[in-house]
Amino acid sequence: MTTQTLGTETDAMVLRRVDAWWRAANYLSVGQIYLLANPLLREPLRPEHIKPRLVGHWGTVPGITLTYAHLNRATMRHGLDAMLVTGPGHGAAALNAAAWLEGTYSELYPEVGQDEAGMAALFRQFSFPGGVPSHASPHVPGSIHEGGELGYSLAHATGAAFDHPGLIVACVIGDGEAETGPLAASWQAPTFLHPWRDGAVLPILHLNGHKIANPTAYSRIPPEALAGILRGHGWDPVEVTGSDPAAVHRAYAAALDECVARIERVRTGSAHGRPMIVLRTPKGWTGPDRVDGHQIEGSWRSHQVPLTGVRENPARLAMLSDWLMSYRPTELFGVDGAPAPALAAWHPGGDRRMSANPITHGTRQRDLRLPDPAAHAITVTAPGQVTAQATSVLGEYLREAVARNDDNLLLFAPDEHASNRLDAVFDVTGRRWQLPVEPQDQHQSPTGRVVEVLSEHLCQGWLEGYLLTGRHGLFSTYEAFAHVVDSMVAQHAKWLHTADTVTWRRPVPSLNYLLTSHVWRQDHNGASHQDPGFIDHILSKRPEVTRVYLPPDANTLLSVADHCLRGRGLVNVIVAGKQPAPQYLTATQAAAHCAQGLGVWEWAGTEHDGDAEVVLACAGDVPTLETLAAVHVLTDLVPDLRVRVVNIVDLTRLFAPERHPHGLPERDYTEVFTPDLPVVFAFHGYPWLIHQLTYDRPGHDNLHVHGFHDQGATTTPFDTCVRNHIDRFHLALAALERIPRVAGRIGHLRQRILDRLAEHDHHIRHTGDDLPAIRDWTWHPA
């Protein structure tokens, strides 16, 4: 760490500058909440100067601006490479103010200049129609964390620190946020952060005592007990407490200097406990003390807008004026509205400004050096004649990918990497781990590229922080438990969509999920592990950023995974099984099929020159297997039946093109599915999703979808399919019942199929296993 001087100024002079900067940031924050005009109070405040709707959160702002001011001082004194993650919700007024004072805001938004007109624009746009929100959305320079949903700030900060040696990621954690489960789990970061290969996370737990209407648990825990909790997780807390600004400034500056020194000792191996700060200052500090006899400063009443009814109540208007004037704005801003000379240059220079750190804007990225998927492909001489575990094959591809990108790619999993058959990567790396290792442990490594922690929230949050700062990753998990992060991925998808409209942000690497151990192969776990609805959740989000892939075999999985890892600005969900299964396509065929997203498998059908009588469509590995087996059932019952088989890899191809950028043009859709033939669709997930995707497609009334109906149990693999009617027999029966020329024989044909189902049920209840004809079935041309 290099050191830059602050000139010849004494510590007292520097702290006076810190205080002035803090006052300026607070003034700008109050102005954003309240003022529509008259930003410099050149005339007495009048009702028309006040916004008609007061929307904002003041209570957390003074702690954020205080922290920002002191981090700037520490950055200049010690030459830090630092960024800031702010966890308290709706704290964007503070961050907007900081970026404006540093000049970054005006550089990126010239219409919000560092003058009176620019200040007025900064104020007007805040929580205003057509403006910017009150939380730290992508419009905020230097931000990677929205703070709309609480609980993920420390996880994002940790993800940003991975593989960023020399970086300090300061993280302000609100004491309300500290009560959430994800934040409580996030204190485990020292177990996974390497002392010198990773950056340092500096948590700043801000205990201002109150949430929106209640006291906070962490603020009422005795200080020694709280320190014990934090030390137990590997942190070494330094406490800063007070309500007198001068005293707090002195204590905060000393605490940050001490933390910077400790971080350096951790990096060099001479210390182990990672420093953090516990900051105790009043909620709504420097705001109104009492209003109408109620305590405001230091209470929950300062959480949002401390003074309401300002337009209508002259006394409240006068209180707002006094509040703003208490910051002595004439000392802080020149006659033109620009920061006074003493403040204008008082911030780190260039990219050292936290609001301009390029890693927070996605401008420092490196493409992955990925292997050729074909080099890891299964050799397929004929469809269905080879058996393989798709995720095991992917594991070999990932092994080479990890070896080629040992500081730019991380794999996250909640204790399931080996269970999900991706363990080939352990040939070249280990599991990230900083705690002691015992003889029976396997593949634990301080610098491992696999990050396993039994918390989906942490896997998601760490990966998001890693991606948002320009690196690449994959999150693999059991399909049913991806729902744990439903709201997190929703927030991330919104961030990506909004960030795409911010011209100075570069699209960041895509968020990639591999959902395996899926719904159709949970015969030993049963209903608790059966829920394919994560894909429904994803496809309810913005179509510009969401994709879902259902590769039917190993080679298509390789092609899809390679495509997703190369992507930017998307949320990609891949669903693939880990059990042995038939393989259908060569590497070349798989690449072509995945590029198209869906297609007719002529080798699997029995039509000739497009004269099909029924279309069997499938999406997902087990539905594909059962669809192909249904072709055998059909041709056994009706040898001359003409069947078309369609396989879908990219589920979004089913959308109409005006509803999703991957949507198949209507002419192509009709050519594949036909406008008038019955379509029996075997789908991996809940059947209504296919109807939602295709309700406006030609021939939708002919579409009959079989999927998961929440009929789960501890039973055989095939019986799970039977219970949900996606098995070969129910698919064949559904097809026969819709083919006019067999209507006269349908009773006989139905009975033959029902007899097969009865035979199956009798066999599993007596043997505990599927019929050999089912279990050992292999594809052959019909």
- Distance CA(112)–CA(120), nearest Å, equals 8
Give Cα 445 distance to the centre of its chain.
26
Average pLDDT over residues 696-702: 95
Average pLDDT over residues 441-470: 97
- Distance CA(544)–CA(569), nearest Å, equals 9
Average pLDDT over residues 566-578: 97
Q: What is the pLDDT of residues 257-286, one digit of tens each?
A: 999 999 999 999 888 889 999 999 999 999
* Confidence band for 7, pLDDT divided at 50, 70 and 90: low
Asked if pLDDT for residue 232 goes beyond 90, the answer is yes
Cα dist from 190 to 155, 183, 406, whole Å: 12, 14, 20
Q: What is the pLDDT of residues 19-37, one digit of tens each?
A: 999 999 999 999 999 999 9
The tokens describing 301, both together, are 């009443």
Task: With H, G, I as helix, E, B as strand and everything else as coil, classify residue 145.
Answer: coil
pLDDT of res. 586: 98
Asked if pLDDT for residue 6 goes beyond 70, the answer is no
Do the beta carbons of residue 64 and residue 123 sit within 8 Å?
no
Lowest model confidence (mean pLDDT) among 7-21, 138-152, 417-431, 505-519: 7-21
Q: In this prediction, what percent of the chain has a pLDDT beyond 90?
A: 92
pLDDT of res. 4: 42
Q: What is the pLDDT of residues 650-687, one digit of tens each?
A: 999 999 999 999 999 999 999 999 999 999 999 999 99
Q: What is the pLDDT of residues 217-231, one digit of tens each?
A: 999 999 999 999 999
Asked if pLDDT for residue 147 goes beyond 90, the answer is no
The tokens describing 619, both together, are 């999406």
pLDDT of res. 665: 97
Average pLDDT over residues 576-588: 97
* Confidence band for 5, pLDDT divided at 50, 70 and 90: very low
pLDDT of res. 3: 37
Average pLDDT over residues 95-105: 98
Asked if pLDDT for residue 523 goes beyond 80, the answer is no
Comparison of pLDDT for 345 and 639, the residue scoring more:
639
Q: What is the pLDDT of residues 709-767, one digit of tens each?
A: 988 888 899 999 999 999 999 999 999 999 999 999 999 999 999 999 999 999 999 99
Lowest model confidence (mean pLDDT) among 130-139, 538-547, 622-631: 130-139
> What is the reported pTM?
0.96
Do the beta carbons of residue 174 and residue 447 sit within 8 Å?
no
Which residues sit opposite 200 in a β-bridge? 168
- Distance CA(496)–CA(545), nearest Å, equals 7
Which residues sit opposite 182 in a β-bridge? none
Which residues sit opposite 647 in a β-bridge? 599, 618
Average pLDDT over residues 528-547: 94
Within the chain, what is the greatest distance between any pair of CA atoms?
A: 100
Do the beta carbons of residue 432 and residue 446 sit within 8 Å?
yes
Asked if pLDDT for residue 526 goes beyond 80, the answer is no
pLDDT of res. 2: 34
